[in-house]
Amino acid sequence: MYTWLDITALEPEEAKISVLGIPFDGGQTQEPGAAKGPAKVREFAEKFMPGATDDWHVLEYQPLVYDFGDVDMRGTWGESFERVEKEAYRVMGYNNFNIFIGGDHSVTIPLQKAFKRKHTGEKIGIIHFDSHPELCDCYDGKIWSHANTAKRALEDVVEPEDILFLGIRAAEAEEVELMRRKKDLTVISATEIFHRGFSDCCREIYNKFKGYDAIYFTLDIAVLDPAFAPAVGTPVSGGLTSRELIEFVRFIIDKLPVTDMDIVEMAPPLDSNDITAWAVMRIIEEVFSLIDRK
């Protein structure tokens, strides 16, 4: 059993938050290492959780978090993703807030399929934070890579009007063409955030999703500028600052019906002084703090 210090629940029914790791980087097209992400998060959790966020909320002793461990990613790609979807759907059945820890961004493909199954008949949406839109139909001969995540979501999970991208600052030609053709797709680029500011962007996010029943929030840590998150497979300069990301996460978790989220693409072997791991843990602490108060 994995321990999140004094906030560990012994049974999922006792918890408010469920954690599931997906140690996989077979969908990475650049530098590998994201498969070690779940282990790094738990290493930090055992040493440093709980703590106080910078609005001084303290995660005091209580059964807040239940950790289901890692999905078995042995076997073929298809077999592994089938297990991810099946295990995620089981975890979602406890009706806790769920955090899935990757792993490269391809693991979001089966996670979002499980999310759709769980919320059948409801109005669902996806918020996708990233440096890339991941709308390629096929990349390097693969259809389930981390470059295909959102394209598979548009085929299997939601309609174009139900997804929002934030932090995008790099794209393939086919992705640009698709974004221009699919007028209902909402994209808030890194450049727009810089010029429009936090409040205006949050207003657009809220107005888009305020009538939804459930939202899946997928957070590729590469949405941060490499200065704040160097340990990602495909770093792109010009991204969000840590403070901007923290404030966006706070707003989304607090104001919108997010039921499930993932944090993906941290590759510990590529890190410098654990900078990226610290950024991931900072986000997790903020999410824990917000759910703790609900």
Between CA 151 and CA 118 the distance in angstroms is 20
Domain count across the chain = 1
Residue carrying structure tokens 């001084």: 56
Domain at 208, CATH number = 3.40.800.10
Q: State which residues of the chain have pLDDT below 50.
A: none
- Cis amide linkage into residue 23, ω under 30° from 0: no
- pLDDT at position 257 is 98
Cα 248 to Cα 122: distance, rounded to the nearest angstrom: 25
The token pair at 251 is: 């707003």
Determine the Cα–Cα distance for residues 149 and 140; give it in Å rounded to an integer.
14
Res 144: pLDDT: 62
Q: Which of 236, 266, 233, 289 is nearest to 17 (CA)?
A: 289
**Model confidence pLDDT, tens digit, residues 97-128:** 999 999 999 999 999 999 999 999 999 999 99
- Tokens 């004094």 map to which residue? 6
Structural element, H or E, at residue 219: strand 214-220
As given in the structure block, the two tokens for residue 21 are: 């790791």
Residue 258 β-bridge partners:
215
What 8-state DSSP symbol labels residue 127? E
Distance CA 260, CA 219 (A): 11
Structural domain including 151 reads 5-292
